Amino acid sequence: MRIIFLLSVLAFGIQACTNNAKEETSLKMLQNKVDSLNLFVQKMKPGLGELMTNIQLHHEKLWFAGTGLNWKLADFEIGEIKETVDQAKEIETDRPETKSLTMLSEPINAINHDIEKQDINQFKKDYGILTQTCNTCHTANHFEFNVITIPSAPTVSDQDFKTLQVR
């Protein structure tokens, strides 16, 4: 009886060790997978330059939508700018430049208001303020060589920015 008991304890102990080894192996494999995915995400995230280029494109499209009185498109473009600014703050937390992005909030809010009111004259003024704020941010962060202007011609020539007419 004693031998059966000892053999049972020994078998249980061997099984427990085997289960612990399997569990440790599974945890190591899981950690390796997590580390691999984290590395992949880090490689895939856009840099601050790519995010700023995205903002610049939407800044341009916003101008042509607003001056074309396409208020729905203007609303979409200002939303894209805000979304990209928020994304930059979230992704590029280690960059000191992202702290300056809060200065864009007031001009963005003003343009949102202009779009709601469909006020083209105030839109043009506030767009100028937004453009100057971009340049102020660039200067404050030692990127003064990157000067943003009110666009003269759209770089995306395959989009109609004017108000859609019912046909």
131-140: pLDDT as tens digits: 999 999 999 9
- Of the candidates 149, 163, 161, the one whose C-alpha atom is nearest the C-alpha of residue 59 is 149
- The dihedral through the CA atoms of 101, 107, 112, 118 has a sign that is negative
pLDDT in tens, 86-99: 999 999 888 899 99
How far is residue 21's CA from residue 114's CA, in Å, rounded to a whole number? 65
0.95 exceeded by the pTM?
no
The residue ranking higher by pLDDT, 51 or 14, is: 51
The CATH number given to 48-140 is 1.20.120.290
- Asked which of 92-96, 127-131, 150-154, 156-160 is least confident by mean pLDDT, the reply is 156-160
What is the mean predicted confidence (pLDDT) over 76-104?
A: 94
CA distance 62 to 39: 35
Q: Which of 111-115, 125-129, 158-162 has the lowest mean pLDDT?
A: 158-162
14 pLDDT above the threshold of 50 = yes
> Mean pLDDT across the chain, nearest whole number?
87
Per-residue confidence band for 108, with pLDDT thresholds at 50, 70 and 90: very high
Residues 29-60 pLDDT 10s = 877 777 777 777 677 788 899 999 999 999 99
Q: How far are the Cα atoms of 52, 92, 105 from residue 47, in angstroms, in the given order? A: 9, 7, 21
118: left (phi over 0), alpha (psi -120 to 50) or beta: left
Q: What is the mean pLDDT of residues 132-150?
A: 97
Supply 12's token pair: 């249980």
Both structure tokens of 158 = 């395959």
167: pLDDT strictly greater than 50:
no
Q: 9 falls in which pLDDT band (50, 70, 90)?
A: low
Q: What ranges do the domains of the chain cover?
A: 1-44, 48-140
Burial classification of residue 155, based on how many CB atoms lie within 10 Å of its CB (0-12 exposed, 13-18 middle, 19 or more buried): exposed
Query: Residues 6 or more apart from 80 whose CB is under 8 A from it?
Result: 54, 58
The one-character DSSP state at 8 is H
